[in-house]
Amino acid sequence: EQATGESVRQIVTIKVGVPADKAREINKLIKDKGPKGVSSQTQANQLRVSGKKRDDLQQTIAMLRAANLDLPLQFINFRD
């Protein structure tokens, strides 16, 4: 929409967290197709995925990126 002068204004909707139905879908996907030894649980508006091996977690991240979830994914606190 037009703003003052030559400026333009845009209205944006920001999503925070993972909706409950999408969280269940991701949990099921990890349990069905994820590597053995990787578990996931829902915490408030985010999903916590844990596993013993770094390679398993990287494989899970690749699987989730390849899945068509219609949700932007962000991976944080990934450490050795």
pTM value is: 0.74
Give the model's pLDDT for residue 80.
Answer: 57
**Structure confidence at residue 9 as a pLDDT band (50, 70, 90):** very high
| 27-36: pLDDT as tens digits | 999 999 988 8
Complete DSSP assignment for 3-35: -STT-B--------S--HHHHHHHHHHHHHHSP
Q: Are 30 and 41 in contact (CB under 8 A)?
A: no
Give the pLDDT confidence of 56-80 residue by residue, as tens digits.
Answer: 999 999 999 999 888 888 888 876 5
pLDDT of 30: 92
- The domain segmentation of the chain, as residue ranges, is 20-66
What integer pLDDT is reported at residue 8 of this predicted model? 92
Assigned token pair, 79: 């450490």
